[in-house]
Structure 1
Amino acid sequence: MRVLVIEDDDNLRNILIKRFEESGFVVDAADNGQDGLFKGQEFPADVAVIDLGLPKISGMEVIQTLRDEGVKFPIIVLTARGSWQDKVMGLDAGADDYLVKPFHFPELLARVNALLRRSSGNTTPEISCGPVVLNMSTQSVEVDGHPLDLTSYEYKVLEYMLHHQDEVISKSTLTEHIYHQDYDRDSNVIEVFVGRLRKKMAVILPDEKLIETLRGRGYRMSSRSD
């Protein structure tokens, strides 16, 4: 999954980048509102973490502009302002949640994961599609009750597909959400990851086609059984 971090404090921003990457996210980051707004408009984020007190353009204006332009990814506000009025203003601007500084990263990560779950219609850490169950908290996967041993990138591909089950997902979209912006998008690496996922799932359920290929369009995991 891809997270946009807009934070002007260099130390905090670098910590957030490091911790999110350690948690399996692709991270886009900006140290001011102007650059952050551009990245929010142009990059395919799944969730954003935005400080309110930003230079050039305030975090509040960034959020309002993104929402006015129809950008729908979940947003969590970071703020040093603890008053209820500031929290209400952030939510009214279009944020989905807020966290007051100082904070512990595990709480921020839990809130980010909760927003991601809600955005895909899930209310628990577990995301399921037929016999496939992924737990975002433990980053574990089971197929028909049996654990599935995945590499980090196989997990990222499967996680994105489960968040967007029943949708056709192109190879370029998967690449954008599991790799940084400068990755070679002509690579066939996504086909390799999907092929590995299929083989590992087939060991457990050899007769079920859990990931469908739509030639020239991409892949789909269907929540509906035939």
Structure 2
Amino acid sequence: MIRVLLADDEAMVRAGVGAILAADPGIDVVAEAADGREAVAMAQAHRPDVALLDIRMPRLDGLAAGAEIRRTVPGTGVVMLTTFAEDEYIARALGDGAGGFLLKSGDPRELLAGIRAVADGAAYLSPKVASRVIAELADGPSGLLGRRTRARERVAALTGREREVLALVGAGLANAEIGRRLHLVEGTVKAHVSTILGRLEVRNRVQAAIVAYEAGLV
């Protein structure tokens, strides 16, 4: 029996998806949640085989909830269920360890196949999502997934402190604010920023912030 946590902030969607899952004798919905924080708590309490999460939820979105579930309940596979097949959603979900990415507009059989695949330790992408991932990979460094890989490689060359500073630059903080956050004098922060720009081979803070975002620091 595959134990599933279902999280979606729309009650009608939960009811519809729950009915599809309940029709399969090999699947048991052990918990439901209406927002991301509740989903994390339910996953920690029930330790389901699979957490099926909507992306757009209040308090904590499904992507962040999925990452937290993967971190705190590593035995639970994560499947994202969404109306949107946006490239950034796909890249972030897969980068955070989600095993499946499904569209609400897809065939109910895709939902069941995705749940079973992730429960078995495999991965499953709806056909429309798979085609986008393949296109991104085919684009190489110019594609989103390629850019994220390159950004992470560039950031890996920084020291731990430099990565902390870069993350705060990416969040839009000024040098004085970064200094207060990290308990550093402003001059030291300025020196770190200068070094970061040189090592990343970017010309300004905006370009550094883009690298931080693509590397997943923000």
Q: State the TM-score, normalizing by the size of structure 1.
A: 0.49
Residue 13 of structure 1 corresponds to 14
Q: Is the 8 A contact 2:70 2:77 kept in 1?
A: no
Residue 199 of structure 2 corresponds to none
Residue 98 of structure 1 corresponds to 101
- Where relative contact order (Cα < 8 A, 6+ residues apart) is larger, the structure is 1
Pair 44,67 (structure 1): closer, same or farther in 2 beyond 3 Å: closer
Residue 65 of structure 1 corresponds to 68
Pick aligned residue for 1:54 from 54, 57, 64: 57
Q: Which structure 2 segments of 5+ residues have no match?
A: 123-218
Q: Is the 8 A contact 2:47 2:75 kept in 1?
A: no
Q: Is the 8 A contact 2:69 2:76 kept in 1?
A: no
Based on CA coordinates, which of the two structures has the bigger radius of gyration? Answer: 2
Q: Is the 8 A contact 1:41 1:71 kept in 2?
A: no
SS state of the match for residue 117, structure 2? helix
Pair 18,102 (structure 1): closer, same or farther in 2 beyond 3 Å: same
Pair 2,85 (structure 1): closer, same or farther in 2 beyond 3 Å: same
SS state of the match for residue 8, structure 1? coil
More strand by share: 1
Letter in 2 for 1:80: T
Aligned length: 119
Residue 78 of structure 1 corresponds to 81
Query: How much has 1:5 moved relative to structure 2?
Result: 0.6
Residues 115-147 of structure 1: CA distance to partner in whole angstroms, max 9, x if unpaired?
22336xxxxxxxxxxxxxxxxxxxxxxxxxxxx
Q: Aligned partners of 1:80, 1:59: CA distance in 2, in Å?
A: 12
- 4+ residue stretches of structure 1 with deviation over 4 A? none
Q: Aligned partners of 2:28, 2:108: CA distance in 1, in Å?
A: 16
Query: How much has 1:61 moved relative to structure 2?
Result: 1.3
Query: How much has 1:48 moved relative to structure 2?
Result: 1.4
Q: Aligned partners of 1:105, 1:71: CA distance in 2, in Å?
A: 26
Percent of aligned pairs with the same residue? 24
Q: Aligned partners of 2:73, 2:10: CA distance in 1, in Å?
A: 28
Q: Aligned partners of 2:106, 2:62: CA distance in 1, in Å?
A: 18
Residue 28 of structure 2 corresponds to 26
Backbone CA RMSD of aligned residues = 1.5
Q: State the TM-score, normalizing by the size of structure 2.
A: 0.51
Q: Aligned partners of 1:117, 1:71: CA distance in 2, in Å?
A: 14
Letter in 2 for 1:16: V
Q: Which structure 1 segments of 5+ residues have no match?
A: 120-226
Pair 71,117 (structure 1): closer, same or farther in 2 beyond 3 Å: closer
